[in-house]
Amino acid sequence: MAMLTVDNLAVNYGVITAVKGVSFEINEGEIVSLIGANGAGKTTILKTISGLLKPVSGTITYEGNQIQKQKAPKIVAQGISQVPEGRHIFPGLTVKENLQMGAFLQSNRQQISDTFDEIYKRFPILKQRENQDAATLSGGEQQMLAMGRALMSKPKLILLDEPSMGLAPIFINEIFDIVKAIQEQGTTVLLIEQNAKKALSIADRGYVLASGEVKLTGTGQELLANTDVQKAYLGG
C-alpha cells in the first residue's frame, strides 16, 4: 500500500478550478517529483495535502487514513511537514527560535534536543548562526533553515515547494544533495521544482502536470529521456 494516495483531487480558488481530478501516489522511501509550468496546480496540491486548502472533491489517503478534511496541525502531527515556496522564515527571530517553531507539536524535551543535534549536523552553518536573526541569512542559508524547521517535527513525509527558487548556482547543487540525503536517511519526499532536470535526476518517479491535470508519469529517468518533456521543461 502506498504511503500517500491522491485520488481524483479537485481544488478551486474561488470560481477558478486550480486542480482537476489529479491522481498520484507516493511509496514509502521514494522521492516523487511534480513538474509543470507556473499555474499547473503544483503548489495547490501541496497546500491541500498539508490541510491549508480543502478540496472540492477527491480523497487524500495517508497511511490508510483519509486526511483531506483534517486541519493542518493534525496532519503535521501524523508525520507530514511542508517547506513552503519562498521559505517563509520568521524575521526577528533567531535561527534557533525558527527551528524551535518547527517542534511546536513535540513534547519530549530530550527528543527535541536530539533533533536539534541532527539538524545542526546536517546544516553546520545553522549551528554557527543559531543566535543570528534569521532575516540576515543568505537565500541559501534561509532555505536550509526552512528545511531544518520542517525536519524538527520528525516527518515521515516532507513536501518541498521550489527549494532551489531564487538561489545562487553555488547553493542549488547543495540543496539537491540535501534532498537526496534526507531521503537516504529515511524520509519520503514529495518535490515540486521548476528546475525539472535537477528534480527528475534525483526522483524515483515523476508526474507532469499541465492546466491542473496529470498529463504524463514515469520514472525520473524515463521522463528525462522523454522528448516532449525535454522540449517543454528541459530546454531540449
The 10s digit of each residue's pLDDT in 132-147 is 999 999 888 898 899 8
- Residues comprising the chain, all counted: 236
Quick one: cell of 158?
Answer: 516532507
Q: What is the pLDDT of residues 100-154, one digit of tens each?
A: 888 877 778 888 888 888 899 889 999 999 999 999 998 888 988 998 999 888 8
Q: Are 205 and 219 in contact (CB under 8 A)?
A: yes
The domain in which residue 97 lies consists of 4-233
pLDDT beyond 70 at 235: no
**Side chain identity at residue 60, one-letter code:** I
**Spatial separation of the C-alpha atoms in residues 227 and 231, rounded to whole Å:** 6
Contact 182, 151 (CB under 8 A): yes
Supply the CATH number for residue 226's domain: 3.40.50.300
pTM (2 d.p.)? 0.89
Residues 6+ apart with CB under 8 A from 32: 24, 26, 189, 190, 191, 203, 204, 205, 206, 207
Number of domains into which the chain is organized: 1
Q: Is pLDDT above 80 for 54? A: yes
Instruction: Supply the DSSP string of 5-25, one letter for each residue.
Output: EEEEEEEEETTEEEEEEEEEE
Q: How far apart are CA 219 and CA 20, in angstroms?
A: 23
Asked if the model's pLDDT at residue 1 lies above 80, the reply is no
- The pLDDT value recorded for residue 38 is 81
Residue 68 CB neighbour total at 10 angstroms: 21
Residue 133 has phi, psi (to 5 degrees) of -60, 125
Q: Are 199 and 193 in contact (CB under 8 A)?
A: yes
User: Residue 187 and residue 155: Cα distance in Å, rounded?
Assistant: 7
CB 3 within 8 A of CB 156: yes
| The pLDDT value given to residue 109 | 83
What φ, ψ does residue 134 adopt, rounded to 5°?
-60, -30
87 DSSP β-pair partners: none
Residue 156 pLDDT class (50, 70, 90 cuts): very high
